[in-house]
Structure 1
Amino acid sequence: MAKSSTIKVLEQCNVSPPLNSAPPISLPLTFLDIPWLFFSPSQPLFFYDYPYTTSHFTSTTLPNLKNSLSLTLQHFYPLAGNLTMSPFEPCKPEIIYSQGDSVSLTIAESNGQFNHLCSNYPRDVNEFHSLVPQLDDKQVLIPLLAIQATVFPKAGICIGLAYQHVVADGRTFNNFMKTWASFCSFGDSFSMKSLPSYDRKVIVDALGLEDIFLKEWRRRKSLKEIAIGSEDNVDLSNMVRATFVVGLSDMNRIKSWIIAKCNEENKSHPVHLSAYVLTCAFIWICLVKAQDGVNEKCCGEDPNYFGFIAGGITRLDFPVPASYFGNCVGFGRSMAIRKELMGEDGVVVAARAIGSTVKTLDKAIFGDAKKWISDWKVLFGLDLNVMVAGSPKLDLYETDFGWGRAKKIEEISIDCMRAISLTESRDVEGGIEVGLALHKTKMDAFTTFFTQGLRAFP
């Protein structure tokens, strides 16, 4: 067990785009942004090796970090702006950037054990919370992004962020991070391949989803119960976070086992056995089994749900540039009966359910969009259900500020979401890292099912 650590704040400042470099802008939320009003901020942490002293960091690295952030905000200036949310019709929530708006940047020093925090084994979730910047959402104007850089003397740096998902999906956030890292590495000589596109007209609301989502948002806001995707009173005592890696060889063995099992029972193969589906199916089964041992609410006939985010740009029937700034994702929810997930063919059942949902989204990503919010309420209504945050397709580990690739990436918001996080594996080519935050007894059970489960596939 690591010793308790302390954080010392060295500086609190604000970083703006260079003077007169970014025009004032008002971005209306599209129907793809509005659903994220129901969710709490994303909280990713990027850990980097950094074998230098704090004084070296503040005198050499910090000025470059600030300047490169300013240059990046010159192009991603809405992130320095605010979200306005009047609940009264006909006003709609919108993102506003004005000259002088800025991003809060906290500089801190930690005496914590850097390598311990970067490990995969279970660690107390509370050890990470001091590395996450505060993002005030109680104001009339709600900041969209806050950043904290924490130096671990002669060990490493943690770049912690908190951002409102309503302003950016994973793709947009990844574009921002890669741009900031590139400016930090190469300075003014870095040239962006494509600038962010702020043209909201490319998003076509053919199904009238904006009115449906706004109506539900106004209703929940009037009742003061907006949040769906997080819980305020989660018991974080005795909760740990750990990372599990599913390698390409593991996926191939799972896939071969599924196909052999279907052939043996003369059943059709699941329609879609991608690396993502195989990983999610196996993790879902391990979680179901781990919950069964410690949760008395479990019932074999209950439906269990697995929710995930689906990239929209390649699935839309209208063109959206890859540089589009904003949200362009859909939502999928797979269902299976608990006793079938617990059975011998559980992985087959899970893969069939998730794969079928993926294929349905491929054909019509907005087919069930009218039910997204009600689906979320069901999904987050019971701790038997699972939600996925993140994507292994973003190559987040390639975010290099000049200190090398990230040593570890963690998503802290899953602590209060009952979600799992997915990212590409740093060290296993083709692998996927799965981040979990569970109470220790459940994590111990999950670890056993994960380890034994992988060994069982020939």
Structure 2
Amino acid sequence: MAKTSIVKVLEHCKISPPPSPNFNITLPLTFFDIPWLFFSPTQPLFFYDYHFSTSHFLSTTLPTLKQSLSLTLLHFFPFAGNLLLPSDTNEKPRIVCTEFDFVSLTIAESDGDFTHLTGNHPRDINDFHSLVPELHTGSVSANETTLLLPLFAVKVTVFAKSGLCIGLAYHHVVADGRTFNNFVKTWASFCKDSCFFMNSSPSYDRYVILDRNGLEDVFLKEWFKRKKMVIGSETEKDSPEMARVTFVLSLNDMEKVKKWIIGQCRKKNWPQPVHLSPYVLTCAFLWVCLLKSLIQEDGKTTRKFHAEDPSYFGFNAGGINRLDYQVPTSYFGNCIGFGRSMARVGELLGEDGIIVAANSLGNTIKMLDRAMFEGAEKWISDWEVLLGSDLHVMVCGSPKVDLYKTDFGWGRPKKIEEISIEKTKAISLSESRDFEGGIEVGLALPKLQMDSFSFVFNQGSSKETGIS
């Protein structure tokens, strides 16, 4: 492992959008937004090669970063706003935007090993915490006063003559991955080209989201029933021994898994899974790998399990293309649903575990395509089940969101890491930086389990068949 790095804070500042009369508005939360009140913020880190000194960054690059961020907030102003959390159950949570809003920006310098941090090999999770911006944590209950909490923060760390890290923290209640991608790409475009012209501005019309199933009332009752929510970065200053590793599945890897599934189905006269997309193949493979790594060590079973125990796989499902009414792609906010697949542990660990996983995932996606809101009243409680057991798996992110095309003027990111998976034990998925059509997989696990996962993953992806 690399030596412990020293991070020195150089500046704290507030970045406000240029004055505009549009800022004094309130945005109500839709039923798509409310479930995210129960989640900690997303914390992506964007690493870039940057072979200049710290003084060059401060005098030349930083002013452009600040100016372009301010200009971007003019169009995406809710990122500078605040979440209002009333204690009164007669009031609904909402996003408030005023002319006094700002985004907290921290500038720092690190003597850490940039090459080590941006590799795919095992790295201590604590090495990344100093790169994450602080976003105030708070909770509200029936006995507390109303809280007003920021939704977004930025921290830029310079690795002199090596690289830059742009660390972001934003609460999912303000935006889904599609909206965030539009925001960060716009910021990068303004930074790279001062003459950049936006083709279309974000749409803030909340009335385009139709609540035909009464889900807003259902979700608000869930929130008030618990009388508590937590918002904040919640990054531990010193976490238990966990490793962060990146795995990459190429199109060739996925094709091998697909051919094996098709061959097994033909051999056993089984129907093929309804979906064998790269996403389904990757998730099915990871589901089995993660479950095996949990109960095995060096290929031997070390943990007892019951074959009939359920294992759930949770993922987000884009809503814009699944709704039976039109929502503009420029819509600002959340427009995603939730999918939860189930399979028995014994079946997943059997010789046809990947087929079982692919069938379960494919059937869930087929159901979401047909009726996205079937069982939606249980979205919040379903997430709680996933968070409550190691037998369950969650994924965040999407390989369809091309974050590796985010160019601030220094080229594509060298690496992107999602820090929040440490808390949720989720798997992060993104498009591969280096392999066309490939998928990058990020995990943060206890070191012994990570060793086991690496063994199972590498064994499965190197074979012409599924995992053995």
TM range (shorter): over 0.9
Q: Partners in 2 of 1:162 and 1:16 — Cα distance? A: 17
Q: 1:410 to 1:21 in 2, by over 3 A?
A: farther
SS of the equivalent of 1:128 reads helix
Q: Which segment is superposed worse, 104-113 or 370-379?
A: 370-379
Question: In the alignment, residue 411 of structure 1 is paired with which amino acid?
Answer: E
Residue pairs, 1:167-182, within 5 angstroms: 167-182=174-189
2:316 corresponds to 1:309: yes
Residues 65, 229 of structure 1: alpha-carbon distance in 2 compared, 3 angstrom cutoff: closer
Cα displacement (A) at 1:293: 1.9
1:245 match: 248
Q: Could you tell me which residue of structure 2 aligns to residue 202 of structure 1?
A: 208
- Supply the RMSD in Å over aligned alpha carbons: 1.7
Q: Write the distance in 1 (CA, Å) between the matches of 2:307 and 2:232.
A: 26
Return 368-377 or 52-61, whichever deviates more: 368-377
* Deviation digits for residues 381-414 of structure 1 (CA, Å, limit 9, x no counterpart): 1012111111110100000000000000000000
Is the aligned partner of 1:261 residue 2:264? yes
Q: 1:297 to 1:58 in 2, by over 3 A?
A: farther
Structure 2 partner of 1:384? 391
- In the alignment, which residue of structure 2 is the partner of 1:70? 70
Task: Name the stretch that deviates more: 16-25 or 6-15.
Answer: 16-25
Of residues 420, 428, 431, the one that matches 2:435 is 428
2:409 corresponding residue in structure 1: 402
CA separation of 1:288/1:349 partners in 2, compared to 1, >3 Å: closer, same or farther?
Answer: same
Contact 1:38–1:229 (Cα < 8 Å) also in 2? no
Distance 2:357 2:128 in 1: 32
Shift of 1:298: 3.0
What TM-score do you get using the length of structure 1 for normalisation?
A: 0.96
- CA apart distance, 1:154: 0.2
1:370 to 373, 377, 398: 377
Per the normalisation by structure 2, the TM-score is: 0.94
Task: State yes or no: 1:17 paired with 2:24.
Answer: no
- 1:138 deviation in Å? 2.3
The superposition leaves residues 7-44 of structure 1 with CA deviations (integer Å, 9 ceiling, x where unpaired) of 10000000000123643110000000000001000000
Contact in 2 for aligned 1:133/1:148 (Cα 8 Å) = yes
Pick from 296, 305, 322 the counterpart of residue 298 of structure 1: 305
Answering whether residue 360 of structure 2 is matched by residue 353 of structure 1, we say yes
Q: Which residue of 1 aligns with 2:56?
A: 56
How far apart, CA to CA, are the structure 2 residues paired with 1:82 and 1:196?
18
Q: Is the 8 A contact 1:390 1:421 kept in 2?
A: yes
How far residue 87 of structure 1 moved from its aligned partner, in angstroms, is 3.5
Partner in structure 1 of residue 218 of structure 2: 212
Distance (Å, rounded) in 1 between the aligned partners of 2:68 and 2:128? 26
Residues 311 and 391 in structure 2, CA contact (< 8 A), matched pair in contact too: yes
Percent identity reads 63
What is the deviation of 1:234?
12
1:164 matches 2:171 = yes
Change in Cα spacing, 1:146 to 1:342, as seen in structure 2 (3 Å) is same
Question: Following TM superposition, by how much is the alpha carbon of 1:88 offset from its aligned partner in structure 2, in angstroms?
Answer: 2.0
List alignment gaps of at least 5 residues for structure 1.
Answer: none
Structure 1 residue aligned with 2:463: 456
Q: Distance in 1 between matches of 2:236 and 2:70?
A: 36
Q: Which runs of 5+ in 2 are unaligned?
A: 140-146
Are the counterparts in 1 of residues 37 and 231 from structure 2 also a CA contact under 8 Å? no
- How far residue 235 of structure 1 moved from its aligned partner, in angstroms, is 8.8
Q: Cα–Cα, structure 1 residues 228 and 359, in superposed 2: closer, same or farther, change >3 Å?
A: farther
What is the aligned counterpart of 2:193 among 186, 189, 198?
186
Q: How many residues align?
A: 454
